[in-house]
Amino acid sequence: MLNPKDTKILSTSDENILIAANLINKGEVIAMPTETVYGLAADATNPDAIRRIFKIKGRPQDNPLIVHISDFSMMERLTVNVPQIAYKLAEKFWPGPLTIVLPKSNLVPHEISAGLDTVAIRMPSHDAALKLIEESGVPIAAPSANKSGSPSPTTANHVFDDLNGQIPIILDGGSCKIGLESTVVKFENEEVIILRPGIVTVEDIKGYGFTVRLASGVFEPPDNDAPIESPGMKYKHYSPKARVILVDSDIDEFTKYVESNFSDGDFCLIFDSDSDTMRLPHLTYGGDSREQAEQLFKKLRELDKLNASRVFVRCPNKHGIGLAVYNRLLRAAGFEVVVIE
């Protein structure tokens, strides 16, 4: 017998999207697929629904949510004084995995923006997400649909593992194509500042003639005395239960280091090409940065299922899409990196 409190996993048929849209309009919280990761979705204009998102996730109140839109008129209702540069950037990358931080209008509940005077907005490219926003007719706030702190979900089953019994439905759009959260940017005058790196890279944005800079929090642990540019940067994040140790070296040095530190219950997370020579227990997370982005969270969750106590991770390259993978691993590791030159 199905427990009535069990969360249902539904396909993204038109009929199910209607069911989901009705739930959103009633102020319920549900899970939806996007091209980046699964989102925990609710009506962005309903403060009660937003408070429930924070409660279900166990998310700290001062970590703001991204609002998902399906057309520019929604953006206009949610914002004021949008600079021209924002439209130029949105035209290039929307719909897609880029989030833009803008001055907010009074329509945005303060719960969403965690007390800031800005709101983070994205137009996703996933069909089911766009249809859900259109059907419900409201902008949808959606952080990743995981328990706060754990790796973001990239399949409906990941969401189920974290949130079964706490939400009525999960729309199952299959495995997320990208697998990492969106790139988050803000503007300072004519400069694009990257607050969180993602699949839209520094190079992609520069390629359209923009001036781009990475916020210091992308690489560094937070300084408690300094003002934070993006509240999400201050938490240990994306982390499996195992302790993650990021090892920055070539495969020979990596192997030597791990062999001399290895205990029972430990695992390695390495590149596909390392697998032939590795004799210790390991999983692989892809051959290039694109695959690593897609597989990282999935593999961190698998390591939890294997009860890994520690995971030695082969450090990805730090350029292009690799930078986004590195950024998530830095946080998963609580900034613990072993560098072997």
Residue reference for tokens 């520690």 = 310
Provide long-range contacts, Cβ within 8 A and 24+ apart, for 207-215. Answer: 208/88, 208/89, 208/92, 210/85, 210/88, 210/89
Using CB under 6 A as the binding rule, whether residue 176 contacts ligand AMP is answered as: no
Task: Determine the interface stretch with Mg ion among 122-130, 138-146, 190-198, 241-249 (rule: CB under 5 A).
Answer: 138-146
Q: How far are the Cα atoms of 95, 170, 251, 273, 314 from residue 276, in angstroms, in the given order? A: 40, 38, 11, 7, 15
The pattern of x and - marking residues 110 through 129 that bind ligand AMP according to CB under 6 A reads: ---x--x-xxx---------
Note the helical H segments in 277-320: 289-305
143 lines the binding site for ligand AMP (CB under 6 A)? yes
In the complex, what is the shortest distance from the CB of residue 158 to ligand AMP, in angstroms, rounded to a whole number? 14
Cβ at position 120, least distance to ligand AMP in Å: 3
Instruction: Using the rule CB under 6 A, give the single segment among 1-9, 20-28, 226-234, 239-247 that binds ligand AMP.
Output: 226-234
**Which residues, 6 or more positions from 299, have their beta carbon under 8 angstroms from its beta carbon?**
269, 283, 284, 285
Smallest separation, CB 79 to ligand AMP (Å)? 11
Residues 73-112, mask of contacts with ligand AMP (x by CB under 6 A): ----------------------------x-----------
Confirm if 217 and 228 have CB atoms less than 8 A apart: yes
Other CB atoms within a 10 A radius of the CB of residue 153 amount to 28
Q: Which residues pair with 40 in a beta bridge?
A: 31
* CB of 149 vs ligand AMP, minimal distance in Å: 10
- What is d(CA 273, CA 284) in angstroms, rounded to the nearest whole number? 9
> Which residue in the set 24, 32, 49, 195 belongs to the binding site for ligand AMP (CB under 6 A)?
195
239 binds Mg ion (CB under 5 A): no
Q: How many residues comprise the chain?
A: 341
Q: Are strands 183-188 and 118-122 parallel, antiparallel or unpaired?
A: unpaired
Total residues binding ligand AMP (CB under 6 A): 20
136 or 152: CB nearest ligand AMP: 152
Nearer to ligand AMP, 160 or 238 (CB): 238
Could you tell me the sign of the dihedral formed by the alpha carbons of 131, 134, 135, 141, in that order?
positive
The binder of ligand AMP chosen from 23, 30, 66, 78 (CB under 6 A): 66
- Cα–Cα distance measured from residue 184 to residue 87, given in angstroms and rounded to the nearest whole number: 15
Q: Output the CA–CA distances (angstroms, integers) from residue 109 to 1, 138, 160, in the order listed.
A: 40, 13, 28
What is the C-alpha separation between 159 and 174, in angstroms, rounded? 12
Stretch of 77-85, 137-145, 250-258, 282-290 contacting Mg ion, by CB under 5 A: 137-145
Would you count residue 144 as binding Mg ion (CB under 5 A)?
yes
Q: In the complex with Mg ion, which residue's Cβ is closer, 19 or 101?
A: 101
**3-class SS of residue 330:** helix
Q: How far is the CB of 137 from ligand AMP (least distance, A)?
A: 22
> Which of 154/284 has CB closer to Mg ion?
154
**Cβ nearer to ligand AMP, comparing 117 with 250:** 117
Which of residues 64 and 240 has its CB atom nearest to ligand AMP in the complex? 64
If one asks whether residue 63 binds ligand AMP (CB under 6 A), the answer comes out as yes
Closest CA to 86 of 232, 193, 231: 193
**Per CB under 6 A, 144 contacts ligand AMP:** yes
Binding site for Mg ion (CB under 5 A): 144
Binding site for ligand AMP (CB under 6 A): 63-66, 101, 113, 116, 118-120, 143-144, 181, 184, 195-196, 230-233
